Structure 1
Amino acid sequence: MWIVPEAAIADLVSRKASFDAVEKVFAAMAARDAYNFPVVREAIGHEDALYGFKGGFDRTGGTLGLKAGGYWPHNLEKRGLINHQSTVFLFDPDTGKPAAMLGGNLLTALRTAAASAVSIRHLARDDARVIGMIGAGHQSHFQLRAAVEQMQVDKVIAWNMHPEMLPKLGETAAELGLPFEAVDLDGMTEADVIITITSSFAPTLLAQHVAPGTHLACMGTDTKGKQEVEAALLARATVFCDEVAQSISIGEAQHAIGDGLISDSDIAEIGAVINGTHPGRQSTEEITLFDGTGVGLQDLAVAAAVVDTAIEKGVAIEVDM
C-alpha cells in the first residue's frame, strides 16, 4: 500500500489536474460508468463535530475507495488546525486489498473548487465578467482561484457574515490582478457568476439578490438542514448537480423539494452537460444553479491522480499490508 502524507500533496497536484479529474468523473457518473455509495454523515456528540464517509466506484477509471472525515468547528481557534479534516483510502477493485492512503484536506479543497469551476465552464454565460463570492472562509480562496481560470474576470465582489474576513479574500483577488469590492447582498445583482461557500443553516442569498442570466455554484450545503440560498431561487433557476440523490437529500434541493417548489425530475446532472446529452444553458437570461454537494468519486478521482504522480516522483511511501 502507498501512503502519501498531507504535507507532500501540494507539490503533486495542480488545479488543472483536479479540474480534469473531476470533469471526467462527472461524465462517467452521468454515463452510469461510475457511482457513489450512500453517504454517512453524523454529529458525533463531541467537539460539535460532524463526521462521515463518502465513497464510490468508477469502472472507467478503475478507482474504488472512500474518504473519511468531517468538520471540527473549533479546530482553528483551539488548535490552529483547519476545521475540515479528512483522509482518503483507495482499494484495488480486483482484489479488495488497500492500495493507498492519502491526506485528504488539500484534496477536498481542490476537488470542491474544481467542481464549481466545471460548472462555470459548462453553464456560465460566455460574456460573464463579474464574480460574486458569498463566504470568505478557507475554501473561498480555492474557489476564487479556480473560477478565474474558467472565465474572463473584470471584477470580484463579495459578502460575508463576518465582514472582517473579507480583506483576506481581497488579498487573493489582488494576487490574481483583480479589483475587489465588499458589497451588501443587494449588490450581488451585479455578479454574472455567484459562488456560495458557507456552512449556513439558514438562507442568506435570496432570489431578489440574483439577476437574470446569472450562474450560481452553491458549494456549501452538504448536510441535512444546511441551506445557503432561498428555496425560491431554485424554482427560478435551471438546476444542475453532481448527483441527484445527494442533491435532494443533503444539498440545496432538499429545501426546494420539501417546499414543493421543484421535484427531483427538475434536476439534471452536470455530467450530462459535459457528455452532450443535456443542452445546459439555453438562453442569456436563464439562471443556472449548480448544487454541489461533493461526491466521494470527486475525492477518489483526484486522489488516484495524486498517487500516480507521487509514485512517479518517488514521494509515496510503500508499506506492506
Structure 2
Amino acid sequence: MWVVPEAEIAGLMTPEAAFDAVEAVFAAMASGEAYNFPVVREAIGHEDALYGFKGGFDKSALNLGLKAGGYWPNNQKRDLINHQSTVFLFDPDTGRVSAAVGGNLLTALRTAAASAVSIKHLAPEEARVLGMIGAGHQSAFQMRAAARVGQFERVIGWNPHPEMLIRLADTAAEIGLPFEAVELPRLGAEADVIISITSAFEPLLMDGHVKGRTHIAAMGTDTRGKQELDPALVARARLFTDEIAQSLSIGEFQHASAAGNISNSDVTAIGRVITGDHEGRGDAEITIFDGTGVGLQDLAVAGAVVELARQQGKAVKVEI
C-alpha cells in the first residue's frame, strides 16, 4: 500500500490538475463509466461533528475507493481546519487496499475545482463581478479557482461574521482584484457569479436578492437540513449538480424538492453539459450548480496525486 501524507499534497496536486480531474470524472459519470456509492453521513453526537463515507468506482480511470471524514466545527480551538478526511484507494482487480492519501487539502482543491467547472460551463459570458458568501477556510480556494476560469474584474463578499472578511480581501489582493464587503441584497444584485460556501441551515441568499443573468454555485456543507439558498430562488433557476440523488436528499435542492417546487427531472447532471449532451445555460436567466461533493471527485484527485507521489519519490510503501 502506498501512503501519501497530508504534508506532501501541496507540493504534488495543483489547482489546474484538480480541475482537469474533476471535469473528467463528471464527464465519466454522465457517460455511465463512473458511479458513486450511497453516502453515509451522520451527526455523531460529539463535538457537533458530522462524519461519513463517500465512495465510488470510475471504470474509465480504474479508481475504486472511499473518503472517510467529515466536519468538526470546533477544530479552531485545536488549531485544525474544520474539514478532516483521508482517502483510501483499492485495486479494482483484487480488492486489496492500494493507497491511503491525506484528504484535507485534496478536499479543498476538488471542491473549488467543482465550482470552477460549473463557472466554465454555466456562467454568463459577460460575467465580471464575483460574489462570495462565506469567508471560511474553503473560501480562498473557491475564489482562486473561480479567478482561473472567469474574467472577473472585482470581488464583493459577505460573511455572517464580518471580522472574517479579511480572508476574502487578502485573497482578492493576492490575485489582483479589488474587493468590497457588501450586504446580501447588494451582492445578489451586482454579482454575475455567486459562490456560497457556508455551513448554513437557513437560507442566506433570498429570491429577491438576485437580479439579472447570474450563475450561483452552492458549495456549502451538505447534510440533511443544510440550506444556503431560498427555495423560491431554486424554483426559478435552471438547476445542475454533480449527483442528482445526493442533491435532492442532502444537498441544496432538498428543500425545494420536499416542498414540491421541483422534481428530479428539473435537475441536470453537469457532466451532460461537459459531454455536450445538454445545452447548459441556454436562455436561462439564473443557473444554480449544487456541488454536493461526490466520492468520485475525491478518488479522481487522490488517484492523480498517488501517481505523482510515486514518480517523485514522495509516496511511502507500507506492507499490510
Asked if these proteins are the same fold (TM beyond 0.5), I'd say yes
Aligned to 1:12: 12
Paired residues for 1:153-302 under 5 Å: 153-188=152-187, 189-283=189-283, 286-302=285-301
Shift of 1:282: 0.8
Query: Aligned ranges for residues 21-100 of structure 1 at < 5 Å?
Result: 21-77=21-77, 79-100=78-99
The Cα of 1:47 is off from its aligned counterpart by 1.1
Does 2:148 match 1:149? yes
Deviation at 1:221, TM superposition (A): 4.1
Q: Is the 8 A contact 1:221 1:292 kept in 2?
A: no
Alignment partner, residue 128 of structure 2: 129
The runs of 4+ residues in structure 1 deviating greater than 2 Å are none
User: Secondary structure of 1:225's match?
Assistant: coil
Give the structure 1 partner of residue 308 of structure 2: 309
Whether the 8 Å CA contact 1:221–1:250 is kept in 2: the answer is no
Deviations 1:12-63 (A, max 9, x none): 0000000000000000001111000000001111111110000000000100
Instruction: Indicate the SS of the match to 1:281.
Output: coil
Aligned letter for 2:93? D
1:200-252 Cα deviation digits (max 9, x unpaired):
00001001111221000000041000100001111110000001010100011
Instruction: Give 1:17's aligned amino acid.
Output: A
In 2, Cα distance between the equivalents of 1:178 and 1:213?
A: 22
After superposition, the C-alpha distances for 1:161-219 in whole angstroms (9 at most, x for unaligned) are 00110022101100111000000011111000000000000001001111221000000
Gaps of 5+ in 2: none
Q: Which amino acid aligns with 2:35?
A: Y
TM-score, scaled to structure 2: 0.99
CA–CA distance in structure 2, aligned partners of residues 168 and 96 of structure 1: 43
Report the 3-state secondary structure (helix = DSSP H, G, I; strand = E; otherwise coil) of the residue aligned with 1:252: coil
Q: What code does the residue aligned with 2:134 have?
A: G
State how far apart, in whole Å, the 1-side matches of 2:211 and 2:29 are.
31
Structure 1 CA distance for aligned equivalents of residues 236 and 44 of structure 2: 36
User: For 2:318 and 2:204, how far apart are their aligned partners in 1?
Assistant: 48
SS of equivalent to 1:148 = helix
Distance (Å, rounded) in 2 between the aligned partners of 1:171 and 1:252? 28
**1:110-139: per-residue Cα shift (whole Å, max 9, x none)?**
000000000000000111000000000000
1:64 aligned counterpart, secondary structure: strand
With normalisation by structure 1, the TM-score equals 0.98
Name the Cα RMSD after superposition: 0.7
CA distance in 2, matches of 1:121, 1:243: 18
**Aligned partners of 1:307 and 1:266: how far apart in 2?**
37
